[in-house]
């Protein structure tokens, strides 16, 4: 395998991360942040230039005295991200600053198994390569999958909705294929990293990212880093019990949050409302299809359908109920609601907010914004790139 350039010491790692997060920066400003003398800084930057990770680019405006040179990450740096969901696959290429240069996504059933889904992701990457977006080597690839992951081994472990993926060596397989370092994490975790890098959580060290997609999960960020727990299942909140008497869940228990709400539960309840005559609007949308989707509920609610609005409110209430407990326990600085079902928008958000603010302790919610993600479909891929860039920009 080709060796990808890595920083040789912590100073170089700090410089690379700073240039990633802040873009082009003058030598004077870099020196202020890393507390290096002008000559020591010059030595470290020269080494990074020699590694092909950094380049110098003209002179900054004078701060009085000699004008300081501008430094930036090498424009040829490339990271790749695969965001594999239960029903979709997204592939993106970013530059060193993690700006998305190209992004393709399509519907894809994760139940096809690891080989088929990863092959499809590689084909999509091939398309981006054909567009000339990857001029040289790929410096690293970050992959998110919709299930529990052994982060250390780079593979899914007993993932409930991913038949054929259990202990499949994703990191090794893709690393061999692309000849670069690869890291694999849970899809909710990479989404949280995306919010940390480019979303409203950019300036918040401790926050929760609640993803409401087909299922429901939570990314836990502590002091600017993902908290994964002992076995990688931290934040698996979809199976917290809301009610002993509740509906049967895919996990075999009853009354889990996910059995009440999320894309799958919403599709089930909306289809039922259409069939029972409770919602003529949903019945109209159903037509002769086998079932409705969360998006149909969104459309019907926007058109004023009372049954759809009620389904969203009830869902928001259940999410809020679990979130209120999490907020009291964790005392986050921000909660971001994301995922396909978050497209239900303001009705959902208002219900979640009202339950959390009513039920959590005032000290925990006094300054707590609960917001919708602003990154639309890109949080996962930006987070995948962020994950692997953190690794690449760490001393080897």
Minimum gap (Å) between residue 382 Cβ and Zn ion: 29
161 is a site residue for Zn ion (CB under 5 A): no
**Residue among 7 and 262 whose Cβ is closer to Zn ion:** 262
Site for Zn ion in 329-368 (CB under 5 A): none
Minimum gap (Å) between residue 107 Cβ and Zn ion: 25
- Which listed range, 18-26, 104-112, 255-263, 275-283, lies at the site for Zn ion (CB under 5 A)? 255-263
Dihedral over Cα of 91, 101, 189, 241: its sign: negative
Minimum gap (Å) between residue 361 Cβ and Zn ion: 27
Report the DSSP pairing between strands 140-145 and 79-84.
parallel
Dihedral over Cα of 155, 89, 288, 282: its sign: positive
Minimum gap (Å) between residue 250 Cβ and Zn ion: 6
- Which listed range, 94-102, 118-126, 237-245, 264-272, lies at the site for Zn ion (CB under 5 A)? 237-245
Minimum gap (Å) between residue 209 Cβ and Zn ion: 20
For the record, the structure tokens of 325 come out as 């407990």
CA geometry: angle 146, 255, 158, nearest 5 deg: 30
**Residue among 181 and 217 whose Cβ is closer to Zn ion:** 217
**Residue among 265 and 337 whose Cβ is closer to Zn ion:** 265
Minimum gap (Å) between residue 217 Cβ and Zn ion: 12
Question: What is residue 69's DSSP assignment?
Answer: E
Site for Zn ion in 256-295 (CB under 5 A): 256
Minimum gap (Å) between residue 323 Cβ and Zn ion: 17
Contact 167, 155 (CB under 8 A): yes
11 is a site residue for Zn ion (CB under 5 A): no
Helix, coil or strand: residue 235: coil
**Residue among 81 and 267 whose Cβ is closer to Zn ion:** 267
Which residue shows structure tokens 């999960």? 217
Question: What is residue 241's DSSP assignment?
Answer: B
The count of other CB atoms within 10 Å of the CB of residue 202 is 10
Q: Contacting Zn ion (CB under 5 A), which of 18, 19, 249, 327?
A: 249
- Which listed range, 25-33, 116-124, 249-257, 264-272, lies at the site for Zn ion (CB under 5 A)? 249-257
Number of residues that bind Zn ion (CB under 5 A): 5
251 is a site residue for Zn ion (CB under 5 A): yes
CB proximity list for 129: less than 8 A, separation 6 or greater: none
For the record, the structure tokens of 204 come out as 């918040």
Helix, coil or strand: residue 313: helix
**Residue among 148 and 332 whose Cβ is closer to Zn ion:** 148
**Residue among 74 and 265 whose Cβ is closer to Zn ion:** 265
d(CA 181, CA 174): 9
239 is a site residue for Zn ion (CB under 5 A): yes
- Which listed range, 147-155, 221-229, 246-254, 289-297, lies at the site for Zn ion (CB under 5 A)? 246-254
d(CA 140, CA 390): 10
The count of other CB atoms within 10 Å of the CB of residue 115 is 12
Minimum gap (Å) between residue 249 Cβ and Zn ion: 3
Minimum gap (Å) between residue 313 Cβ and Zn ion: 22
**Residue among 255 and 333 whose Cβ is closer to Zn ion:** 255
**Residue among 146 and 175 whose Cβ is closer to Zn ion:** 146
d(CA 59, CA 28): 11
Minimum gap (Å) between residue 267 Cβ and Zn ion: 17
The DSSP line for 335-394 is EEEESGGGGGTHHHHHHHHHHHHHHS-HHHHTT--EEE-SSGGGHHHHHHHHHHHHHHTS
133 is a site residue for Zn ion (CB under 5 A): no
For residue 142, which of 378, 338, 381, 393 has the smallest C-alpha distance? 381
**Residue among 217 and 383 whose Cβ is closer to Zn ion:** 217
**Residue among 256 and 281 whose Cβ is closer to Zn ion:** 256
For the record, the structure tokens of 312 come out as 């969203």
Contact footprint for Zn ion (CB under 5 A)? 239, 249, 251, 253, 256
């Amino acid at each position: 395998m080709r060796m990808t350039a890595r920083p040789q010491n912590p100073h170089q790692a700090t410089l690379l991360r700073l240039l990633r997060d802040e873009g082009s920066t003058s030598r004077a400003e870099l020196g202020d942040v890393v507390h290096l003398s002008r000559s020591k800084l010059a030595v470290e930057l020269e080494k990074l230039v020699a590694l092909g990770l950094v380049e110098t680019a003209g002179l900054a405006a004078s701060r009085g005295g000699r004008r300081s040179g501008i430094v930036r990450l090498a424009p040829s740096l490339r990271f790749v991200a695969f965001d594999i969901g239960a029903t979709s696959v997204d592939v993106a290429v970013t530059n060193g600053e993690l700006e998305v240069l190209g992004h393709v996504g399509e519907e894809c059933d994760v139940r096809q198994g690891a080989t088929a889904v990863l092959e499809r992701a590689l084909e999509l990457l091939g398309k981006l390569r054909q567009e000339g977006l990857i001029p040289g080597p790929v410096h690293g690839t970050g992959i998110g999958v919709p299930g529990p992951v052994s982060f250390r081994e780079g593979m899914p472990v007993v993932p409930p909705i991913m038949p054929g993926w259990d202990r499949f060596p994703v990191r090794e397989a893709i690393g061999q294929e692309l000849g670069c370092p690869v890291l694999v994490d849970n899809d909710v975790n990479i989404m949280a990293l995306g919010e940390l890098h480019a979303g409203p959580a950019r300036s918040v060290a401790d926050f929760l990212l609640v993803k409401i997609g087909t299922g429901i999960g939570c990314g836990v960020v502590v002091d600017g880093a993902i908290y994964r727990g002992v076995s990688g299942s931290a934040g698996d909140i979809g199976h917290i019990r809301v009610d002993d008497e509740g509906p049967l869940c895919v996990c075999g228990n009853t009354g889990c949050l996910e059995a009440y709400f999320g894309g799958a539960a919403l599709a089930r309840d909306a289809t039922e409302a259409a069939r029972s005559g409770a919602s003529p609007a949903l019945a109209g949308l159903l037509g002769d299809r086998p079932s409705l989707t969360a998006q149909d509920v969104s459309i019907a609610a926007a058109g004023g359908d009372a049954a759809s609005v009620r389904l969203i409110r009830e869902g928001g209430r259940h999410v809020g109920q679990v979130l209120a407990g999490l907020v009291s326990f964790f005392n986050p600085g921000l909660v971001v609601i994301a995922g396909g079902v978050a497209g239900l928008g303001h009705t959902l958000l208002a219900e979640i907010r009202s339950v959390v603010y009513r039920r959590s302790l005032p000290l925990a919610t006094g300054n707590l914004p609960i917001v919708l993600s602003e990154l639309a479909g890109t949080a996962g891929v930006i987070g995948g790139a962020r994950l692997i860039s953190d690794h690449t920009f760490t001393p080897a």
